Chains A and B, each alone.
Chain A
Amino acid sequence: MAKLKDLAAQKEKFVGGHRGCAGCGAAIVARQVLMAAENPVVVGAATGCLEVFSTIYPYSCWNVPFIHNAFENVAATMAGVETAYKALKKKGKVKKDLRFIAFGGDGGTYDIGLQALSGMIERQHRVLYVCYNNEAYMNTGIQRSSATPRGAHTTTSPAGKVIPGKMQLRKNLTEIVIAHEPAYAAQATFGYWNDLVTKVQKALAVDGPSFLNIYAPCRLGWAYAPEKTVKVSKMAVETCIWPLYEYEDGKYRINVRPKEKQPIIEFLNMQGRFGHLFKWSDDIPVKEYQKEVDYIWDRLLKRSEG
């Protein structure tokens, strides 16, 4: 278990001065993930908020080697870096034990980068893939992705006069990844920082591909006050909208069980992106979303019993 005191004493690998919004969840993800890494790391990022706000030339927030290639291919790019490492280590040209981390947003992971991620895991590249999941294409201005939940307003699933936001449920990417039987997969969020740090360390320790789906509230896209980011992150866990669990050695484990599971309305109420739902006489989207959350949580409970 990581100690906050030790983490705080580390040399920063992801430094401040970037151009992320106040209260940006993605920046917290990057910082916490790198803090957890004990070996030297090489980082890749897909095109997206994180890459844009952290690397505006001639500045960079990355005190570790970093590469951005394109949007859909961070998994393939880092697979290439890791393969070069294997080749050059074999030839004695690299001596140190390095670890490799790929960052992609939900757009770059759930949607356009899904194939590359699948390939990276199937080929067993020893890369930790971190999806910083803020449930929409935030970099281009809040468009719906396959991670966007039922009912959410985005600029391509607007709360219109006839259609109240996104009509479809979220894709369950974590389960899609688990179906690949990676060495380690988990869901995390920075509101539970110790859980997150522990999971990064576990993921970097396994000899194979690993995946973390990290819930990263976005104050701009979700429409809440910047200081509430961590609160929103925690409420996602308390409502079981974002269950914290891991998959390791063929077993599911729930890492945080809310003392009392909150109705999702508590989470939805915190954010402007769901504000329109409560003006509707018919709250079908909320019911459907609650049903999905309950179903997945119950299934997780059953799976983790075995």
Chain B
Amino acid sequence: MIVARTGNEAMAEAMRRINPDVVAAYPITPATEVVQLFSKFVHDGLVTTEFVPAESEHSAISACVGASSAGARVMTSTASQGLALMHEILFIAAGLRLPIVICLVNRSLSSPINIHCDHSDSLASRDSGWIQIFSENTQEAYDSTIIAVKAAEQAGLPAMVTTDGFIISHGMERLELCNDADVPKFLGERKAKVSLLDVENPVTLGALDLQDYFFEHKRQEINAMDNTLPLIENAQKEFGDMFGRYYPVVDSYKMDDAESAILCMGSTGGTGKVAVDRLRTQGKKVGLVRMRVYRPFPKEILVKTFSKVKVVGVLDRSDTVSTLGGHLYNDLRSVLYDAVSRPHLKNYIYGLGGRDISIEDIEQIFSQLMEIAKSGKIDKDIVYYGVRGE
């Protein structure tokens, strides 16, 4: 069935078909609608989920940890300050190897306070041991939410699927829905290794783990993340086989002969593809790479993708506030260090606090990149694009 839906509606719809055992959540702009719509599904009897309207995001994710430890399939939704308030428990969820899924609507972090999109919230949580999947549009938000449940359960790690606040979350788009009955078939039932409700086989979870064992347990968690990329690829393939929509881990657009490329995440992928198309009609050898899966970081794929490219403009909708530029820029620089042939890199920090980025903006970035491709020289490696006074 094809419908028109916003990103938030799409994520709520995905949750409806997933029909988790437990959802515990708290309202926050711009993610409120996801929870609001889902609680309507609960009250209308469209799902069998037990809903916990928690008194804070901290308690919401804490209840998710409890419910997931009891063997339930568990989801929540939040944004920005909400994710920041969850921060402490994100690490615990990953350490306890609980496949909780968060529908995250990307919004800048205070201060200054702002309700619009940038990626600083999820990227501030990038080291928490969660799988992170970014969406380009409403359809991806919907599909990735379903894929994430499967991948998370197979990996034994929690996952967050993100949309760009307001740009996707409140933007109406074409959405192809999965058949109700097919999603449970695709996901199957969660088979938890241990459950707190198994009183015959009592387990102690969250034990104090000192110098003699902590490191081994942490290493297991790191191993799990190391092994997760193929599991995501597999879940994406199975999803494609069932629903006809196939997704890559890294979305490469017109990269085959590209000399200048941009790397980005989220809705900018869609905007950037239009800019690439326009420049291609002028015969420019440009392409775009969009990270769908940001954690685990698909390093081999990126090294290969950029092996023949002369210059990459890394578009970060976040900054590390560290003199080092954006998150993606730093990650890419790091993985390219050992590459036999590596492109020039230039970091464009853009769109903080929801500042719009247009097709023309990206065309302009490309024209700068094509200059670098020609001259082989970069005047400034980190620039703040579209900000007054630069």
Residue positions of A touching B, CB distance < 8 A: 40-42, 44, 51-52, 55-58, 60, 62-70, 72-73, 75-88, 90-91, 93-94, 96, 98, 115-116, 118-119, 122-123
Min CB–CB distance A117 → chain B (angstroms): 10
Contact in complex: A83, B67 (CB < 8 Å): yes
A60 to B208 alpha-carbon distance, docked (Å)? 10
User: Which of B129-137, B196-204, B318-326 is found at the contact surface with chain A?
Assistant: B196-204
Task: Please indicate the chain A residues that have their CB under 8 angstroms from the CB of B206 in the complex.
Answer: 51, 55, 67-69
Min CB–CB distance A27 → chain B (angstroms): 15
Contact in complex: B72, A78 (CB < 8 Å): no
Contact in complex: A85, B208 (CB < 8 Å): no
Question: Of all chain B residues, which has the CB nearest A96?
Answer: B199
Task: Please indicate the chain A residues that have their CB under 8 angstroms from the CB of B60 in the complex.
Answer: 76
Given A57-B207, A87-B21, A122-B55: A76 in contact with B196 (beta carbons within 8 A): no
Contact in complex: B55, A42 (CB < 8 Å): no
Residue total for B at the interface (Cβ-Cβ under 8 A): 44
Contact in complex: B55, A69 (CB < 8 Å): no
Contact in complex: A69, B48 (CB < 8 Å): no
Contact in complex: A87, B65 (CB < 8 Å): no
Q: Which 3 A-B pairs have the closest CB atoms?
A: A80-B66, A80-B63, A119-B55
Q: Taking the complex as formed, is B59 at the interface, i.e. its CB lies under 8 A from any CB of chain A?
A: yes
Contact in complex: B48, A87 (CB < 8 Å): yes
Q: Taking the complex as formed, is B79 at the interface, i.e. its CB lies under 8 A from any CB of chain A?
A: no
Min CB–CB distance B275 → chain A (angstroms): 45
Given A80-B22, A84-B70, output 17 extra A-B contacts at Cβ < 8 Å: A40-B199, A65-B199, A66-B203, A69-B65, A76-B63, A77-B65, A80-B65, A81-B67, A83-B50, A83-B72, A84-B197, A87-B22, A88-B72, A91-B48, A116-B58, A119-B54, A123-B53
Would you mind naming 18 contact pairs between A and B with Cβ atoms under 8 Å apart? Answer: A41-B199, A55-B208, A56-B207, A65-B204, A70-B92, A75-B59, A77-B62, A79-B59, A80-B65, A81-B196, A84-B22, A84-B68, A84-B70, A85-B70, A87-B22, A87-B48, A87-B72, A123-B52
Task: Please indicate the chain B residues that have their CB under 8 angstroms from the CB of A56 in the complex.
Answer: 207-208, 210
Min CB–CB distance B297 → chain A (angstroms): 27
Question: Of all chain B residues, which has the CB nearest A59?
Answer: B207
Min CB–CB distance B189 → chain A (angstroms): 9
Residue positions of B touching A, CB distance < 8 A: 21-22, 24, 48-50, 52-56, 58-60, 62-72, 74, 88-89, 92, 195-199, 202-210, 213
Task: Please indicate the chain A residues that have their CB under 8 angstroms from the CB of B55 in the complex.
Answer: 115-116, 118-119, 122-123
Min CB–CB distance B379 → chain A (angstroms): 48
Give the dominant DSSP class at A's interface: mixed
A57 to B56 alpha-carbon distance, docked (Å)? 31
Contact in complex: A69, B89 (CB < 8 Å): yes
Task: Please indicate the chain A residues that have their CB under 8 angstroms from the CB of B71 in the complex.
Answer: 84, 88, 93
Min CB–CB distance B39 → chain A (angstroms): 13
Question: Of all chain B residues, which has the CB nearest A40?
Answer: B199
Task: Please indicate the chain B residues that have their CB under 8 angstroms from the CB of A77 in the complex.
Answer: 62-63, 65-66
Contact in complex: A83, B24 (CB < 8 Å): yes
Question: Of all chain A residues, which has the CB nearest B203?
Answer: A65
Task: Please indicate the chain B residues that have their CB under 8 angstroms from the CB of A51 in the complex.
Answer: 206, 208
Contact in complex: B207, A55 (CB < 8 Å): yes
Min CB–CB distance B352 → chain A (angstroms): 31
Min CB–CB distance A7 → chain B (angstroms): 20
Task: Please indicate the chain A residues that have their CB under 8 angstroms from the CB of B196 in the complex.
Answer: 42, 65-67, 81, 84
A65 to B201 alpha-carbon distance, docked (Å)? 8
Determine which of B22, B59, B202, B209 lies in contact with A76 in the assembled complex, contact meaning CB atoms within 8 Å.
B59
A60 to B207 alpha-carbon distance, docked (Å)? 8
A58 to B88 alpha-carbon distance, docked (Å)? 24
Contact in complex: B52, A83 (CB < 8 Å): yes
Contact in complex: B66, A81 (CB < 8 Å): yes
A51 to B56 alpha-carbon distance, docked (Å)? 24
Given A76-B54, A79-B52: A67 in contact with B67 (beta carbons within 8 A): no
